[in-house]
Structure 1
Amino acid sequence: MEWAPAECTLPTEERPLRATEFDELFASALRGLQRVGPTHLRLRLKNGAQTEEATRDLVARETGCCSFFAFVLTPGDDGLILDIEVPAVHAKVLDGLTARAIEAAPQVAS
């Protein structure tokens, strides 16, 4: 996770595994994304209990090592909405996560 900030407490050797978890979530469940602002990313994920459980688990663990992230997962009729916000000082981290999502699920960028 080359975009991980110095404040991240996840051990360096575990960062590639966490990046892979995000990649897998994006590849399997990402249906759309919107950069609401420089510090706010909104992801639309496919509906389903398994996706919701996996997403809640992943964002809980990510918040544990990078507490500056604010994740809000909202179930809806059209899918799950995951809002991700960061302080302005960490906007580049959100840029990296956005790029990673587009790379893992290029269909959402078109």
Structure 2
Amino acid sequence: MTQGIVLDQGWAPPACTLPTAEQPLRVAEFDALFAETVRAVQREERERLRLELRSSPEHAARAAELTARENGCCSFFTFTLTIAGGGLTLDVAVPPENADVLDALQARAGAGGRSTASAEAGRPV
């Protein structure tokens, strides 16, 4: 099932403590979450990404569980899941030295024709 997954160099930086053999499985989990829940991707700052998710208790629980596990091996991530006004958003922040990891995450989340936005002129989304 994971044979076709190729890890991006920026996805798993040296600070990641997830065993190498488990990294393709984690990428697949994020890809599945993104494919099933992401409605919009916004990049307003180099170190911050906002994902608008389909709102449901199941999606919120799934995003919370996955991001909690990811934070356990890549502690440089700050994930903020917000449920308000009938919406569900996942904000992801990283320190400046890990912005390339956020670039890779944004590329995966934005795949499949979802809407994207960026406040940085000329920045690919």
**TM surpasses 0.5:** yes
Measured in 2, the distance between the counterparts of 1:21 and 1:98 equals: 15
Deviations 1:12-67, CA, capped at 9 Å, x for gaps: 01011100111111100001110020000000001101000000000000000000
Residues 18-33 of structure 1 mapped to structure 2, 5 A cutoff: 18-33=26-41
Larger Rg: 2
Secondary structure at the residue paired with 1:68? coil
Task: Specify the alignment match of 1:107 in structure 2.
Answer: 114
- Structure 2 unmatched runs, 5+: 1-6, 118-125
Task: Specify the alignment match of 2:79 in structure 1.
Answer: 71
The code of the aligned residue for 2:84 comes to G
Residues 5-24 of structure 1 mapped to structure 2, 5 A cutoff: 5-24=13-32
The code of the aligned residue for 1:90 comes to N
Task: Specify the alignment match of 1:38 in structure 2.
Answer: 46
CA root-mean-square deviation:
1.3
Measured in 1, the distance between the counterparts of 2:106 and 2:27 equals: 12
* Contact kept in structure 2, 1:30 and 1:108, CA below 8 Å: no
The structure that is helix-richer by fraction is: 1
Residues 59-98 of structure 1 mapped to structure 2, 5 A cutoff: 59-98=67-106
| Percent of residue pairs identical | 48
Task: Specify the alignment match of 1:55 in structure 2.
Answer: 63
Measured in 2, the distance between the counterparts of 1:30 and 1:5 equals: 24
- Structure 1 unmatched runs, 5+: none
Q: Which runs of 4+ in 1 moved over 6 A?
A: none
Q: TM-score, normalised by structure 2?
A: 0.83
